[in-house]
Chain A
Amino acid sequence: MTTTATTTGITQVYSVYIKATPEAIWDAITKPEWTEKYGYGGRAEFDLRPGGSYRGFTNAAMRQAGGPEVGVDGEVLEADPPRKLVQTFRMVMDERMAAQGFTRLTYEISEGKGGVSKLTVTHELGDAPMLAVLMSGGMADQGAGGGWNWILSSLKTLLETGSPIDSNPANMG
């Protein structure tokens, strides 16, 4: 087990089946009125064309705690609604994470049988080990939320039941 040097860096892959159309899932990822209802509950702002900007705003609780207005920034690399979105992603709420630079995030949505779609999130975290810990839920005990696992579970709940969850990471179970 010594021959494979990991040149690819850290990658995380998550997938979830959601009883919703690909269009509904696409909207939930890209439209601020949806993004504020699940996961970290911040509004997202996408300019959905290659080179367009992405900003993920913090939620009210994060700002109250002294956080900045923008929590995540990045650039759209590819937008093929409602199938595929590729973007860069840099966490800027924490200086050390910001210093680890941009990561690459891919959302893929495919339609299955019976009105169920599959959403796969691939997060190529390159040389951002701190962000990797955050996104895998390893900082939940610090009130930093449960990462992708938590975001995608709450997205599924929102789209299937219509009820938003408590989006304050400090209150997550």
Chain B
Amino acid sequence: MAEDDGVFKALADPTRRGLLDQLFARDGRSLNQLESESAMTRFGVMKHLRVLEEAGLVVRRRSGRQTLHFLNPVPIRLIHDRWIDKYTERQASALANLKHELEETR
């Protein structure tokens, strides 16, 4: 699904994950604030924010004269529900089956 592609792509970069962590620690930050805690130039931060925004992971809002960036965790939750839950469940039941089989054949 195209929606997921954007999220996986956005999360595949350590700098972008770092920006999400920054927003998780304190939400609603301006570009200046994000830049001041990063080793990157303003252009680098802007470029990465744009990818995060396209993936829906960051939402921009005007607040007075500033534009603030907010972390939107909903796409990660949806990935979790659709992918992670599914496979961890199967893994757990596969292990349970293996245990069962090993114990039967002994």
Q: From residue 133 to 151 of chain A, which have CB atoms closer than 8 A to chain B? A: 137, 146, 148-150
**Which parts of B63-89 form the interface with A (CB within 8 Å)?**
63-64, 66, 68, 70, 72-75, 77-78, 81, 85
Cβ-defined partner of A4 (8 Å) among B33, B77, B81, B85: B33
A6-14, A50-58, A93-101 - the one binding chain B: A6-14
- CB contacts (< 8 Å) of A1 on chain B: these are 33, 36-37
Q: How far is the CB of B65 from chain A (nearest CB, A)?
A: 11
Q: Is A153 an interface residue (CB 8 A)?
A: yes
Q: Could you count the A-B residue pairs with CB atoms below 8 Å apart for me: how many are there?
A: 55
**With the chains together, A10 CA to B81 CA distance in Å?**
28
- Tell me, yes or no, whether A15 is within 8 Å of chain B by CB: yes
Interface band, chain B: 20 to 34
The residues of B that contact A15 with a CB separation of less than 8 Å are: 56, 59, 72, 74
Q: Determine if A156 is an interface residue (Cβ-Cβ < 8 Å).
A: yes
Output the least CB separation between B40 and chain A (Å).
16
Residues of B within 8 A of A (CB): 3, 27-28, 30, 33, 36-37, 56, 59, 61, 63-64, 66, 68, 70, 72-75, 77-78, 81, 85
Spell out A's residues near B (CB within 8 Å).
1, 4, 8, 10-17, 120, 122, 137, 146, 148-150, 152-153, 156-157, 173
Query: Do B81 and A153 have beta carbons less than 8 Å apart?
Result: yes
A residues in contact with B3, CB < 8 Å: 17
What is the CB-to-nearest-CB distance from B46 to chain A, in angstroms, rounded to a whole number?
18
User: Which residues of chain A have C-beta atoms less than 8 A from B56's C-beta?
Assistant: 15-17
A113 to chain B, nearest CB (A): 11
A48 to B31, CA, bound (A): 37
The smallest C-beta distance from A72 to any residue of chain B, in angstroms, reads: 20
Give Cα distance in the complex from A15 to B59, angstroms.
7
Contacts of B63 in A (CB 8 A): 8, 11
Quote the shortest CB–CB distance from A159 to chain B (angstroms): 13
> CB-nearest residue of chain B relative to A13?
B70
Q: Are B74 and A11 in contact (CB under 8 A)?
A: no
B28 and A14 contacting across the interface, CB-CB below 8 Å: no
Chain A residues, CB < 8 A from B36: 1
Q: Is the CB of B61 within 8 A of A152?
A: no
Residue of B nearest to A120 (CB): B59
Q: How far is it, in angstroms, between the C-alpha of A150 and the C-alpha of B68 when the chains are bound? A: 23
Residue of A nearest to B26 (CB): A6
* Minimum CB–CB distance for B62 against chain A, Å: 11
Q: Which of B33, B68, B74 contacts A153 (CB 8 A)?
A: B74
Q: Which residues of A contact B59 (CB under 8 A)?
A: 13-15, 120
Inter-chain contacts of B81 with A (CB < 8 A): 153, 157
